[in-house]
């Protein structure tokens, strides 16, 4: 049936109208056919690439062995599936999940290669987001369980140690040890408190306010916290909707983000704080549609290495040298924002520097 | 160019030889063309489905609203992308990541629908595995950091409390509190020890032995641990290669798995323990090629709900009622196996019941 010319014409029209990228080469890789989606994706018109090899798309991201293995596979008549980093006509690179199917003639000899691009970016993004939130949930469960158990223990110790000390002969070894136990326990209790924030086990008393209010209250404290060599610029949307948050927790989150930015800039640079309303269009992937009150803190530091982005909110995940910071600052931000019904997203600005965006659902005026 | 009949013939041949599923319907959904990959996937030959609608593939897994929304999208000339659960001719179901592209005529009216199946099972599996192992790594980091900190604290407390107690007047409040602190701290130290196993922070002294050896040593202990109503059958491959493990840790892992199986069966049923060699072919997805010594423990319980499988090795993740078990048994298994260079996989047997497989690299005889 597939040799029915009427059907063939419809199928060819289907490939022409398809949003999926198809192209056909001969056994040497010379391009015989590309569909319009190929032209849109790569920026090359059919006329520009016909007769040339698909090497025009090479980005230089793969080793010669990578291509050798690919050619060996398809020349042997087997399908090649893989991820190719290619380059558009304008120089930008993109990722291709690709299938290359060898097309054989009646004798079994490979005569053509048919390339199908699978644009699975969206599926992968959704899957990654799902996995990401499941990971944070698992970490929250672990942190919550441990902090609960140890909070109980430390409450007993800290609560009893004073009484125990009273009965100890002053100046003895026992008194010394008891005070050392108390000191260490208080230190650990501090750690536990931060873990409980991440695990959303703290109490929260949300009120309806615009984000600007706690930010204005924070201004003086933030300036003194950051030192003379870090400037803070504000751009607050005056007409921003109210949102339902616990202001003290939000301030804590902002301070943690600001401290993190200062450390990333080695104490030297500028921080920009912005509030605005966002949505229902143009929201980051995975955020449910709706209106949001947005807080944004960006810095002039080196930005966040892309491989670190998926882990940046994990407790104890830190790129700082040992002894510098607990690695709980950003995980506390995550916990606070989640507990207040919001989302926090870490990214890099186009011009360099990191940008953290927090979205809280806006209370829309009746 | 795409109207060149020679090119069209090659493209049609490419679709015919493609491993990807393509089919074409008219505007009412009547099938006009299917490629051989469609026939292989669905079990229907072209002759059986031509002229029928794609409804023959309906599995009953989706609501009428789901299909209404799909039809509304493509009838309006927009591409539909989504996951369809379909049914083969033999009744088995499969998942289709599908694109349905509406094909318009010169007037812009939708005349045909071109369906492209994206088989992304493999990509998703790889992505999930990567995410899975990253999640476990993150959990390990958190558990490791906490258990390290608290191990130090508890070591101080437990080590000092005896000395402190000696200086306390006997029978007083202080002595009572001190002994309570000691008791609670020892309990927590136990928890910390298990977390350290998960976080692979325990010491390990591996030796080269066949898996059967520690299993034989464990036999009596296991029988008494499991009680009279749980039988254990052994099938140990006598000629199995040696592997490099710490035998006491491996025994602990086996005991944890056996206890877990007993609890899943409510103390009534049978456990099968098997050793065999596996690989280089037929290994579970994601396991690097090679020869492995395999240990398998299966039970006659209800099996593991599929939605729980991805989380089963997480610390504190438990489906047992509160107070029953710490939720650290399987996470200890994970830690022990990982520390000894192995892999543990949880699954369900075809006939019901859970099966845990542990793979350690085999030491191949010179």
What DSSP character marks residue A331?
Answer: H
**B residues 91-130 near A, CB within 8 Å?**
97, 99, 101-104, 112, 114, 116, 118, 120, 122-124, 127-128
Closest partner residue to B138 (CB to CB) among A20, A167, A314 is A314
Both A234 and A188 in a single domain?
A: no
Closest partner residue to B316 (CB to CB) among A1, A141, A181 is A141
Q: Do B153 and A9 touch (CB under 8 A)?
A: no
Average pLDDT estimate for B196-209: 90
Cβ atoms of A188 and B188 within 8 Å: the answer is: no
Nearest to A146 by CA among B161, B151, B183: B151
Both A222 and A236 in a single domain?
A: yes
For residue B323, the model assigns a pLDDT of 57
For residue B20, the model assigns a pLDDT of 85
Q: What share of chain B has pLDDT > 70, as a percent?
A: 96
Q: Do A18 and B101 touch (CB under 8 A)?
A: yes
Both B230 and B345 in a single domain?
A: yes
For chain B, the C-alpha Rg in angstroms (whole number) is 29
**CA atoms within a 13 Å half-sphere pointing along the CA-CB vector of A243:** 30
Which residues of chain A lie closer than 8 angstroms to B153, CB-CB? 184-185, 188
Both B180 and B278 in a single domain?
A: no
Q: Do A317 and B3 touch (CB under 8 A)?
A: no
Q: What is the CATH number of the domain that holds B255?
A: 3.30.565.10
Nearest to A1 by CA among B29, B20, B38: B38
Q: How do residues B105-135 score in pLDDT, each as one tens digit?
A: 989 999 999 998 877 777 777 777 888 888 9
For residue B1, the model assigns a pLDDT of 40
Average pLDDT estimate for A130-149: 89
Where is average pLDDT lowest: B149-158, B275-284, B292-301? B275-284
For chain A, the C-alpha Rg in angstroms (whole number) is 29
**How many Cβ contacts (< 8 angstroms) between chains A and B?**
249
Both B110 and B257 in a single domain?
A: no
Question: How many angstroms separate the CA of residue A316 from the nearest CA in chain B?
Answer: 6
Which residues of chain A lie closer than 8 angstroms to B30, CB-CB? none
Q: What share of chain A has pLDDT > 90, as a percent?
A: 57
Cβ atoms of B195 and A146 within 8 Å: the answer is: yes
Q: Do B101 and A17 touch (CB under 8 A)?
A: yes
Q: B344 falls in which pLDDT band (50, 70, 90)? A: very high
Closest partner residue to B33 (CB to CB) among A11, A79, A178 is A11
Q: Do A181 and B163 touch (CB under 8 A)?
A: no
Q: Do B103 and A46 touch (CB under 8 A)?
A: no
CA-CA distance, A349 to A128, in Å (whole number)?
A: 21
Both A173 and A305 in a single domain?
A: no
For residue A93, the model assigns a pLDDT of 82
For residue A294, the model assigns a pLDDT of 96
Tokens matching residue B153: 């604290």
Closest-CA residue of B relative to A326 is B145
By residue range, what is the domain housing residue B29?
Answer: 5-119
Which residues of chain B lie closer than 8 angstroms to A122, CB-CB? 81
Both B232 and B149 in a single domain?
A: no
Both B115 and B128 in a single domain?
A: no
Nearest to B334 by CA among A127, A309, A138, A145: A138
Both A82 and A61 in a single domain?
A: yes
Closest-CA residue of A relative to B185 is A153
Where is average pLDDT lowest: A270-279, A316-325, B243-252, B267-276? A316-325
CA-CA distance, A141 to A150, in Å (whole number)?
A: 14
Q: A281 falls in which pLDDT band (50, 70, 90)? A: confident
Other Cβ atoms less than 10 A from the Cβ of B307: the count is: 7
| B344 three-state secondary structure | strand
Q: Which residue has the higher pLDDT, B10 or A97?
A: B10
What is the count of structural domains for chain B? 3
Where is average pLDDT lowest: B3-7, B34-38, B320-324? B320-324
Which residues of chain A lie closer than 8 angstroms to B166, CB-CB? 174
Q: Do B18 and A142 touch (CB under 8 A)?
A: no
Which residues of chain B lie closer than 8 angstroms to A14, CB-CB? 24, 101, 103, 112, 114
**A residues 215-254 near B, CB within 8 Å?**
none
Helix A247-264 to helix A212-226 angle (10° resolution) is 40
Closest partner residue to B11 (CB to CB) among A24, A150, A173 is A24
Closest-CA residue of A relative to B1 is A33
Which residues of chain B lie closer than 8 angstroms to A131, CB-CB? 127-128, 131-132, 135
Residue B55 has pLDDT above 90, yes or no: no
Question: How many angstroms separate the CA of residue B232 from the nearest CA in chain A?
Answer: 33
- Residues 6+ positions from A34 with CB-CB distance below 8 Å: A22, A23, A24, A44, A46, A49, A50
Residue A365 has pLDDT above 70, yes or no: no
For residue B216, the model assigns a pLDDT of 95
Q: What is the CATH number of the domain that holds A99?
A: 3.30.450.20
| B125 three-state secondary structure | helix
- Please tell me the total number of residues recorded for chain A in this structure: 366
Average pLDDT estimate for A174-193: 91
CA-CA distance, B187 to B180, in Å (whole number)?
A: 11
Both A302 and A165 in a single domain?
A: no
Which residues of chain B lie closer than 8 angstroms to A188, CB-CB? 149-150, 153
Q: Give me the interface pTM, i.e. the ipTM.
A: 0.75
Cβ atoms of B31 and B53 within 8 Å: the answer is: yes
Closest partner residue to A12 (CB to CB) among B2, B122, B132 is B2
CA-CA distance, A213 to A219, in Å (whole number)?
A: 10
Cβ atoms of A317 and A285 within 8 Å: the answer is: no
Q: What share of chain B has pLDDT > 90, as a percent?
A: 57
| Residue found by looking up tokens 């009746």 in the block | A366
Closest partner residue to B163 (CB to CB) among A112, A157, A173 is A173
Cβ atoms of A45 and A31 within 8 Å: the answer is: no
Tokens matching residue B297: 């423990």
Residue B179 has pLDDT above 70, yes or no: yes
For residue B2, the model assigns a pLDDT of 46
Prior bond to B280 cis, omega within 30? yes
Q: How do residues A201-227 score in pLDDT, each as one tens digit?
A: 888 899 999 999 999 999 999 998 998
Residue B232 has pLDDT above 80, yes or no: yes
CA-CA distance, B278 to B303, in Å (whole number)?
A: 23
CA-CA distance, B356 to B343, in Å (whole number)?
A: 10
Q: Work out the mean pLDDT of chain B and round it to a whole number.
A: 89
- Show which of B178, B198, B218 is a domain's final residue: B198
- Show which of A142, A167, A198 is a domain's final residue: A198
Q: Do B7 and A101 touch (CB under 8 A)?
A: no
Question: How many angstroms separate the CA of residue A304 from the nearest CA in chain B?
Answer: 18
Residue B60 has pLDDT above 70, yes or no: yes
Both A347 and A237 in a single domain?
A: yes
| A353 three-state secondary structure | coil
Q: B281 falls in which pLDDT band (50, 70, 90)? A: confident
Which residues of chain A lie closer than 8 angstroms to B311, CB-CB? 134, 138
- Show which of A198, A221, A248 is a domain's final residue: A198
**B residues 180-199 near A, CB within 8 Å?**
180-181, 184-185, 188, 191, 195
Closest partner residue to B17 (CB to CB) among A103, A128, A145 is A103
For residue A366, the model assigns a pLDDT of 56
Closest-CA residue of B relative to A139 is B139
- A32 and chain B: CB distance < 8 Å anywhere? yes
Which residues of chain B lie closer than 8 angstroms to A164, CB-CB? 164, 168, 174, 177-178, 181
Q: A3 falls in which pLDDT band (50, 70, 90)? A: low
Closest-CA residue of A relative to B141 is A316
Which residues of chain B lie closer than 8 angstroms to A100, CB-CB? none
CA-CA distance, A310 to A304, in Å (whole number)?
A: 10
pTM listed for this prediction: 0.76
Both A187 and A55 in a single domain?
A: no
DSSP letters along A10-63, please? Answer: HHHHHHHH-SS-EEEEETT-BEEEE-HHHHHHHS--HHHHTTSBGGGGB-S-S-
Q: B201 falls in which pLDDT band (50, 70, 90)? A: confident
Q: What is the dihedral of CA A9, A11, A13, A18, to 10 degrees?
A: -170
């Amino acid at each position: 049936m597939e040799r029915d010319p009427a059907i063939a014409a419809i199928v060819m029209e289907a490939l022409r109208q398809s949003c999926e990228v198809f192209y056909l080469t001969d056994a040497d890789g010379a391009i015989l056919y590309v569909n319009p989606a190929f032209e849109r994706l790569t920026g090359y018109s059919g006329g520009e690439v016909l007769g040339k090899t698909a090497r025009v798309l090479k980005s230089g991201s793969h080793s010669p062995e990578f291509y050798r293995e690919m050619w060996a596979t398809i020349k042997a008549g087997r399908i090649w599936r893989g991820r190719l980093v290619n380059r558009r006509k304008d120089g930008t690179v993109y990722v291709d999940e690709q299938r290359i199917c060898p097309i054989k003639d009646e004798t079994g000899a490979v005569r053509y290669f048919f390339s199908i691009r699978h644009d699975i970016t969206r599926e992968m993004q959704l899957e990654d987001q799902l996995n990401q939130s499941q990971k944070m949930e698992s970490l929250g469960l672990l942190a919550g369980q441990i902090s609960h158990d140890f909070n109980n223990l430390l409450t007993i110790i800290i609560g009893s140690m004073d009484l125990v000390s009273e009965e100890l002969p002053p100046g003895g070894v026992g008194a010394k040890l008891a005070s050392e136990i108390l000191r260490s326990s208080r230190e650990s209790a501090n750690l536990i408190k931060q873990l409980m924030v991440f695990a959303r086990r703290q109490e929260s008393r949300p009120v309806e306010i615009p984000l600007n209010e706690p930010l204005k209250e924070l201004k003086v404290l933030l300036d003194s916290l950051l030192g003379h060599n870090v400037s803070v610029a504000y751009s607050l949307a005056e007409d921003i909707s109210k949102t339902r948050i616990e202001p003290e927790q939000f301030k804590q989150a902002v301070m943690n983000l600001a401290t993190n930015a200062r450390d990333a800039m080695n104490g030297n640079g500028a921080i920009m704080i912005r509030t605005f309303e966002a949505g229902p269009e143009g929201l980051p992937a995975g955020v449910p549609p709706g209106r949001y009150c947005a807080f944004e803190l960006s810095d002039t530091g080196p930005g966040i290495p892309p491989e670190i982005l998926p882990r940046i909110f994990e407790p104890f995940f830190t790129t700082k040298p040992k002894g510098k910071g607990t690695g709980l600052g950003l995980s506390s931000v995550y916990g606070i924002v989640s507990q207040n019904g919001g989302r926090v997203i870490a990214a890099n600005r186009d011009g360099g520097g990191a940008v953290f965006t927090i979205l809280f659902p806006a209370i829309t005026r009746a």
